[in-house]
Structure 1
Amino acid sequence: MPYIQTVTGQVPPDTLVFCHCHEHLMIRKGQSFLVNEALCIDSYDKTRAELEQFRKAGGSTVVDAQPVGCGRDAEALCLLGHETGIQIIASTGFHKMVFYPQDHWIFDMGKEALAALFIQELTEGMYADGDYRLPVRSVDARAGILKCAYDTCGLTAQYKKLFDAAICASVHTGAPLMVHIEQGAPALALISYLDKKKMPLDRVIFCHMDRAVQDLSVHKEVCRQGIYLEYDTIGRFKYHSDRREAEIFAAMLDAGYENQLLFSLDTTRERLKCYTPGGIGLTYILETFLPLLTDAGITEEQIRKISCANCRRILTINQVI
C-alpha cells in the first residue's frame, strides 16, 4: 500500500492537503550556528507555536530538511508531530560539508556504511545523536526523504561518495531524493551523474534553483528530465521580490511544468516569527504569497497541484521494505 512516511508513522497520501516541501523546524546549536547564527532553531515551544499557526491557516504537512549528524533533533520532531497534528517528514542524508566539524564521521565513513545508515533511518528509526561522534542512540520515528547537498565545488570525491550512498538508499527504499542546489553549482552536470548511477529522475527534487540559477532555460531542462523543482525564494527580498517569484512560477507553468513544481520557505531562525518578531512565519505562503500567485494569473487548480497533488506524488513511497 503506498504511503508517506512521517515522524508519527505511515499515512495515506490523500491525507496530505497543503505542504511545504523544504523547511527547518529544529536545529541544535552546533557547527551550522558557527557558519550562520540563523541556523539555530532550538526552542521547542516556539517551533510548536509556528506549527500550530500553520495548521490553523490550512497547512497539513512539512518536510524538515535537516539531515542526520548535522543538528537534526529527531526526538523533538517526533514530539512536535504528535502534539501539533502536522505531518512532519524528516530527512536523512547529508548537507554541505561546511556544516560539519573537520573531524566529523561523515568524512571517514565509507559509501556502503553510509548507505546502510541512511537505509536504517528510513526503515527502522532515526538517530537522536551523531552531531560530533558516530550516532548510537535511535528513536522509533523514521525519516521519509533523503536530503543531499550539491555545492559549488561540484562532485568531489567526498560528494560522489555521499551521493552514491544516498542513491543506493533511495533505490533500495523508494524514498525520494531532495537536493540542495547551491548558487553557482552546475545543476545539469549533477543530472548526468544521477542518470549514470541509475537514479530514477522522477524521484528527485532540486531545491532553491529560483535563487541559485537565474537562467530559466536551465530550470526547464531540469523539468524536462523529469525532476521536480522546489522553489522557496518567497519572502526573501535580498534575492528578489515576491512579484518576481510569482513571475518565475508563471513562466514555468506556461512552459507546461505544472506537475513538477513545489514550494516552501526554507525557514531559518530569522524567518520564523515566533523566534524573530519581524520574521514572515510559516503562514506566509498561505496568507500572503498565494494571492500574489492568483494576481499573476495562476489558477486555483495549479495552486492545488503545487501545494498538494505534486507533493503527494513525490513524497509517496510505493516499495514495501
Structure 2
Amino acid sequence: MKFARTVLGDIPVEQMGLTYSHEHIVIDESYPTLGNELFLLNDVEKISKELKEFYDLGGRTMVDTMPADAGRNVLKLAEVSKKSGVQIIAPTGIHLEIYYLPNHWRYSYSEDQLTQLFIDDVNIGIDKHDYNGPFVERTSHKAGMIKLATGDEPISPHQEKIFRAVVNAHLETGAPILTHSNFGKHAIAQAEMFDKLGADLSHIVISHVDRYKDVGYNRALLQTGINVEYDSAFRWKSGDENWTYKLLKELLPEFPAQITMGMDAAKSSYWKSYGGSPGLSFLLTTFKSDLKQMGLAEYFDKIFFENPQRLYAFLK
C-alpha cells in the first residue's frame, strides 16, 4: 500500500484528497520571527479557522514546510489538524541559512549526525522542543517530508553537506523531498545534485520556480524529471504579467504529471483569519475559476490530487 505520513499517522495516498503542496501552517516564535513579525503564525484558533474554510471548500491535505528549529511546532500542527480536519504533512530538514544564528548546530553537525536526526524525525517522531533545549523528547508525530534550501549564491560546500544528509535520509526512509529555491534560482543545479547523489527525482519537488520568468528555464527543469511547485499566482501585481499563469498555459499540457501548487502563505498578512488577504482559499476559488478561463480546467485534478499523491507517497 502506498502511503503518506501525516502528523496524526500514516494514510493511504488516496485519502490525501485535494492537497496544497507548500504551506506554512505554524511558525512559532523563533529566530525567523524576530526578523519579521509577519512570519509569526502561532495562534491555533486562527489557524484552525482558516484551515476549516479550506476543508469546507473540499481541501483535505496541506504540506507544511517549516523544518527543524526554524519555528516548527509539531504539537501545534497536530492540534490544528485535529481541530480543522485537515491532514498535515510535517517536515524535517534544514531551511535557508538566514533563518538560523551563525553558530547554529547545523554548521557543526556532521553529515552522519544530520542524517540520523532527519531519519529519527521520520521514523520515531519529532522533538517537542524542536531541538531548542538540552533534552530531546520525541513525540509520536512523525515527519512525512524532508526539506532543504538554497539561496541566491551557487550551492555552497555547507549546503552540499545538507544535500547529502537529506538524500541519505530519503534513501533510508523512503520519505519525499521538498526544496526551497530563491525565485527559482539554481533549481537546475539542485536537480543535478540530487541526480548525482542517487535520489529519486520523481519524489522531489522544487518550490517557487514560477518566480523565474523564463519558460525555457522551467521547461529544462521539468525535462530532468523532477517536480515543481508554483505558489505565486496571487502575488503578481495588478498590471504586471502573471507569470504563474503564463507558465501553466505553456507547460501544463507538456508536463501534466510534474506540476503542483500551493500558497506559501508564510506571512499573517496573507491569512483572512489574521485580517489579511487573499486567504488560503484563493486556489479553490479565484484560481480555480481562472484555470477554467485559461482552458486548463482539465488539469485541476492533476495539480491538486494525482500529482501530490504520487509525489508525497513514501518509497518504502
Give me the TM-score of the superposition, normalised by structure 2: 0.95
Mapped partners of 1:242, 1:269: distance in 2: 25
> Which residue number in structure 1 is paired with residue 236 of structure 2?
237
Cα 1:297–1:318 change in 2 (3 A) is: same
Superimposed CA distance per residue, residues 263-321 of structure 1 (whole angstroms, 9 cap, x where no aligned partner): 0000121111111x232111111011110011011033x110101000100011130xx
Superimposed CA distance per residue, residues 74-106 of structure 1 (whole angstroms, 9 cap, x where no aligned partner): 100111122221110000001000001122211
Once the two structures are superposed, the pairs formed by residues 25-40 of structure 1 within 5 Å of their partners are: 25-40=25-40
Q: Secondary structure of the equivalent of 1:222?
A: helix
> Which residue number in structure 1 is paired with residue 216 of structure 2?
217
Mapped partners of 2:94, 2:5: distance in 1: 19
Deviation at 1:134, TM superposition (A): 5.9
Mapped partners of 2:195, 2:149: distance in 1: 17
Does the CA contact (< 8 Å) of 2:184 and 2:207 recur in 1? Answer: no
2:255 is aligned with 1:257? yes
Cα 1:135–1:210 change in 2 (3 A) is: farther
> Which residue number in structure 2 is paired with residue 42 of structure 1?
42
Superimposed CA distance per residue, residues 182-241 of structure 1 (whole angstroms, 9 cap, x where no aligned partner): 137322222222111111211110100001x21121111111111011000021135986
Mapped partners of 2:209, 2:35: distance in 1: 22
Cα 1:8–1:184 change in 2 (3 A) is: closer
Mapped partners of 2:297, 2:278: distance in 1: 24
Give me the TM-score of the superposition, normalised by structure 1: 0.94
- 5+ residue gaps, structure 2, are none
- Farther off after superposition, 192-201 or 260-269: 192-201
Cα 1:14–1:112 change in 2 (3 A) is: same
> Which residue number in structure 2 is paired with residue 163 of structure 1?
163
Deviation at 1:3, TM superposition (A): 0.5
Mapped partners of 2:314, 2:219: distance in 1: 26
> Which residue number in structure 1 is paired with residue 286 of structure 2?
288
Amino acid at match of 2:309: R
Q: Secondary structure of the equivalent of 2:42?
A: coil
Does the CA contact (< 8 Å) of 2:268 and 2:276 recur in 1? Answer: no
Does the CA contact (< 8 Å) of 1:105 and 1:132 recur in 2? Answer: no
Mapped partners of 2:102, 2:118: distance in 1: 21
Superimposed CA distance per residue, residues 147-197 of structure 1 (whole angstroms, 9 cap, x where no aligned partner): 110111222121111111001001111111101011373222222221111
Does the CA contact (< 8 Å) of 1:70 and 1:131 recur in 2? Answer: no
Does the CA contact (< 8 Å) of 1:177 and 1:204 recur in 2? Answer: yes
Q: Percent same amino acid at aligned positions?
A: 29
Cα 1:224–1:239 change in 2 (3 A) is: farther
> Which residue number in structure 2 is paired with residue 174 of structure 1?
174
Mapped partners of 2:190, 2:73: distance in 1: 29
Does the CA contact (< 8 Å) of 1:104 and 1:133 recur in 2? Answer: no
> Which residue number in structure 2 is paired with residue 299 of structure 1?
297
Amino acid at match of 2:315: N
Once the two structures are superposed, the pairs formed by residues 128-143 of structure 1 within 5 Å of their partners are: 128-130=128-130, 132-133=132-133, 136-143=136-143
Mapped partners of 2:121, 2:238: distance in 1: 35
Cα 1:239–1:27 change in 2 (3 A) is: farther
Q: CA RMSD in A?
A: 1.7
Work out the number of aligned pairs and report it: 315
> Which residue number in structure 1 is paired with residue 18 of structure 2?
18
Superimposed CA distance per residue, residues 31-76 of structure 1 (whole angstroms, 9 cap, x where no aligned partner): 1113332211111110010111110011000000000111101100
Q: Secondary structure of the equivalent of 1:11?
A: strand
Mapped partners of 2:252, 2:149: distance in 1: 26
Mapped partners of 1:135, 1:20: distance in 2: 34
Superimposed CA distance per residue, residues 81-133 of structure 1 (whole angstroms, 9 cap, x where no aligned partner): 22221110000001000001122211111110000000011111011224645
> Which residue number in structure 1 is paired with residue 80 of structure 2?
80
Amino acid at match of 1:62: M
Once the two structures are superposed, the pairs formed by residues 92-241 of structure 1 within 5 Å of their partners are: 92-130=92-130, 132-133=132-133, 136-183=136-183, 185-211=185-211, 213-238=212-237
Mapped partners of 2:23, 2:290: distance in 1: 21
2:309 is aligned with 1:316? no
Mapped partners of 1:203, 1:110: distance in 2: 25
Amino acid at match of 2:310: R
Mapped partners of 2:237, 2:36: distance in 1: 16
Q: Secondary structure of the equivalent of 1:297?
A: coil
Does the CA contact (< 8 Å) of 2:125 and 2:143 recur in 1? Answer: yes
Q: Secondary structure of the equivalent of 1:266?
A: coil
Does the CA contact (< 8 Å) of 2:124 and 2:138 recur in 1? Answer: no
